[in-house]
Structure 1
Amino acid sequence: MAFALTAAFALPARAEDSPQPAPIPIPTAQPQGVNIKILYVKENRSKELPLSLLDQPNPDDGIAGAKLGIADNNTTGRFLNQTFTMDVLEGDIDELIKGATEKLSGGDSFIIADVEPDSLLKLSDALAGKPAQIFNVGNPDDRLREEDCRPNVMHTAPTRTMLADALTQYLVWKRWPNWLLVVGPSPKDQLLADAYRRSAKKFGAKIVEERQFKIDTGNRRADGGYEQIQQQIPQFLQGAKDHDVVLVVDEDEVFADYFPYRTWVPRPIAGSAGLVPSSWHPALELWGGTQFQNRFKKLSGRIMRPIDYDAWVATRAVGEAASRKQTSDFKTLRDYMHSPKFDVAAFKGIATSFRTWNGQFRQPLLVSTPKQLVSVSPQQGFLHQFSVLDTLGIDKPETKCKAYTQ
């Protein structure tokens, strides 16, 4: 049994997939220390009240992950005469662009951006031609890596197509290929639904039927609100074609959690509730995850969320490049992070790196329930000629990105 569990979470261990990192060079003499500044910019956004009281956003979402990355960089930096610091700016996008431009003149060349898609493009265009490398965290829009890609932006957040592929691989591996697709009304839901349609075609799953869910949750907190939901969901699903899984698409998390245990026929829920793909999960214990989670909790007083992990990866990427190259020179570090030689340890059991054709961070993705890790994708049996990690998302032959050197 122990062997079976180990195999279930293992990724193929091929040389080209998991290159061994080169040893960190020990400087013989360094008269002047290396000081690297990182800037975190967070756009103010209005969000609807979360469906569950357990999902209240934290004011330091993302920022806390970057702070842990700074601490980790400085742990190694003490031995290499390197110091890392971070500034934080919050506001609307125009305020963030003004502040980032001012900070850039003071040496904050590496910018972690937690902003809306159009705001990211506005920020990157405002800093075009300047010594600035932007890291997109928390934003899954594929277009930012494809037709709207920018050469000064790298992406540590997984795309919708990567997340969809991660879940689809597991459902296909489980031989649950027939889906009832339930799609919410928001534009983000439509984009995520497109990603699942693409993924189903890519891996041989079948969407037997689609239904559009109209959100009407005005009485959800009133006495008897659960009774309305208890009747509404099964009625909504009544008469659906035979299916293995109900795949719910609700990126804003405003209705998906109503579906588990309320379906017309007993079927598992996946997508935006039930079985969910993500870049991180607070219950991950593999590959040093327990120690990593404990350090984050000690620093922030809470559990780590995916956007915290995305921000931590961005910060660590800068630190890893600095430790290898022994310099704070912006061009040297930027070019190295963009090169095929760069990789960074990310508590995923395999070397991770950035795709050279669009700046997307390639990584294993987690498939989890709210409390437990279920599996890790790529799944066994899904092969690729160069890296199995590139079975997740848009591969190099498909890319529409023209800003990166092909």
Structure 2
Amino acid sequence: MKGRIIILLAGLSATAPANAQQPAAQKTVQTVQAAVLRVDMPELPPISRLDTPPGDLGFAGARLAIEDNDTTGRFMGQDFDATEITATPETASAELDKLLAEGVSFVVTLANEEQTLKLADQAGDKALIFNARARGDRLRGADCRFNMIHTAPSHAMLADGLAQFLMWKKWTNWFLIAGSHPEDIALADAYRRAATKFGAKIVEERTYEDTGGGRRSDSGHVQVQQQMPVFTQRAKEHDVVVAADEAGIFAPWLPYQTWDPRPVTGSAGLVPHSWHPALEAWGATQFQNRFEKLATRRMWDEDYQTWLALRMIGEAATRTQSTDAPMLKEFMLSDKFEVAGFKGQKLTMRDWDHQLRQPILLTTGDVTASVSPQDQYLHQTSALDTLGIDRPETQCKF
């Protein structure tokens, strides 16, 4: 009897794995197809060669997101893929047409404000656009589109994040220096709005005119050492310099070169970012290490914002247990959606302009000095809504 039981158990052990594997073998893997479309604009090299964008900017973040999505997806019969496309302003429309013809329902764009808006209008109801670069407030306001989600923080969010910290420091008198390009003017507007919102005073404003010419030369630092003190002298008494230089023309030359010894913030010095490679809290160290192993470099804002966009898709697929594009879109735009972003709290969607709520990191070159929203700023819905355009202020009408 004992021998018969052993034989029977042995037989069960031999057949059980085969039976257990059978359902998995029959399970159909469903693929969620996305794309990352980066539109590269012709531009001058940055002031510092350390700020030269890497060739895989944004794409490296996408690759990490696909790895993360697949880690969970493989247990649910889900597979994730993201096509990487580099385009110029002249070829971007044709590239998007190809993606739409192939049935791609999710497109992450890395483009300026004008190009992003054109691509969103072109996509219409055929695809959901994730804006992972453009910061302009008009994209979340008068030019908002229902088929667009913003994982890049807006100018208003960045300005408010910095303003809250400056108010905490009691640096209430600002000397605002703005560039002459349209994107500089838009960023300066965001700082003016933030000053009014939080009670700061802009004691003086000046415009740094971009007259063209090379920004790198053997004598460049000598010229700046002579020019910047003169440009900033005789400013009204101020606590801090706030630079609005989205075009990257002059701000890096401001620290240590102003006439009055004052801290520089905004586009140089203490800078608001969506991400910083020195962040270590909230599991960020492990996240940074995984990215650096994959990309052999540090993570940029565009990498993080692209990663976040694709992780939103993966999180929606996991939560809904579906790969159906309309269902994923509906869930991501609902009040039930949230996604982890290694920033200490869940990231959720604003239904009035489709901006992803997120903390703003205030960074120097080496450290994350602070994270906004600051503790003293409260909100009836979410403290994150103290950053950027709140529901009563929005000009967005879907």
Q: 1:185 matched to which residue of 2?
A: 180
Contact 1:89 1:96 survives alignment (8 Å)? no
Helix, strand or coil at the partner of 2:145 = coil
Which structure's relative contact order is higher, taking Cα pairs within 8 Å and 6+ residues apart?
A: 1
1:315 partner amino acid:
L
Contact 2:41 2:89 survives alignment (8 Å)? no
Seen in structure 2, the aligned counterparts of structure 1 residues 185 and 94 have a Cα distance that, compared at 3 Å, is closer
Q: 2:263 matched to which residue of 1?
A: 268
Q: 2:160 matched to which residue of 1?
A: 165
Q: Distance in 2 between matches of 1:219 and 1:95?
A: 28
Q: Is 1:288 the counterpart of 2:265 in the alignment?
A: no
When Rg is computed on C-alpha atoms for both structures, the one with the higher figure is 2
Q: Is 1:82 the counterpart of 2:78 in the alignment?
A: yes
Q: Distance in 1 between matches of 2:396 and 2:26?
A: 40
- Offset at residue 93 of structure 1 (A): 4.3
Seen in structure 2, the aligned counterparts of structure 1 residues 264 and 68 have a Cα distance that, compared at 3 Å, is same
Q: Is 1:45 the counterpart of 2:41 in the alignment?
A: yes
Q: 2:301 matched to which residue of 1?
A: 306
* Alpha-carbon displacement from aligned partner over 1:115-153 (angstroms, at most 9, x marks no partner): 2222222222222132x1110011101111111111111
Q: Distance in 2 between matches of 1:311 and 1:337?
A: 16
Q: Distance in 2 between matches of 1:182 and 1:94?
A: 33
Unaligned runs of 5+ in 1: 1-26
Contact 2:87 2:95 survives alignment (8 Å)? no
Q: 1:118 matched to which residue of 2?
A: 114
Name the TM-score, length of structure 2 as normaliser.
0.91
- Offset at residue 354 of structure 1 (A): 1.3
- Offset at residue 112 of structure 1 (A): 0.3
Helix, strand or coil at the partner of 1:83 = strand
Q: Is 1:98 the counterpart of 2:104 in the alignment?
A: no
Seen in structure 2, the aligned counterparts of structure 1 residues 206 and 157 have a Cα distance that, compared at 3 Å, is same
Q: Distance in 2 between matches of 1:229 and 1:95?
A: 38
Pairing of 1:94-243 with structure 2 (within 5 A): 95-130=91-126, 132-215=127-210, 218=213, 221-243=216-238
- Offset at residue 28 of structure 1 (A): 11
Between 359-368 and 105-114, the greater mean CA deviation after superposition = 105-114
Q: Distance in 2 between matches of 1:201 and 1:334?
A: 36
Name the TM-score, length of structure 1 as normaliser.
0.89
Q: Distance in 2 between matches of 1:301 and 1:265?
A: 40
Query: How many residues are matched?
Result: 376
Between 230-239 and 344-353, the greater mean CA deviation after superposition = 230-239
Q: Distance in 1 between matches of 2:214 and 2:395?
A: 44
Seen in structure 2, the aligned counterparts of structure 1 residues 198 and 217 have a Cα distance that, compared at 3 Å, is same
- Offset at residue 248 of structure 1 (A): 1.2
1:51 partner amino acid:
I
Unaligned runs of 5+ in 2: 1-22
Q: Distance in 2 between matches of 1:321 and 1:28?
A: 23
The RMSD of aligned alpha carbons is 1.7
Q: Distance in 1 between matches of 2:76 and 2:41?
A: 39
Q: 1:327 matched to which residue of 2?
A: 322
Q: What is the aligned-residue identity percentage?
A: 51
* Alpha-carbon displacement from aligned partner over 1:303-359 (angstroms, at most 9, x marks no partner): 000011000000000000000111111111000000011000000110101111111
* Alpha-carbon displacement from aligned partner over 1:49-71 (angstroms, at most 9, x marks no partner): 11001111111111111111111
Q: 2:30 matched to which residue of 1?
A: 34
Q: Distance in 1 between matches of 2:89 and 2:26?
A: 39
Q: Distance in 1 between matches of 2:120 and 2:208?
A: 36
1:368 partner amino acid:
T
Q: Distance in 2 between matches of 1:30 and 1:318?
A: 25
Q: 1:357 matched to which residue of 2?
A: 352
1:346 partner amino acid:
G
Q: Distance in 1 between matches of 2:70 and 2:297?
A: 22
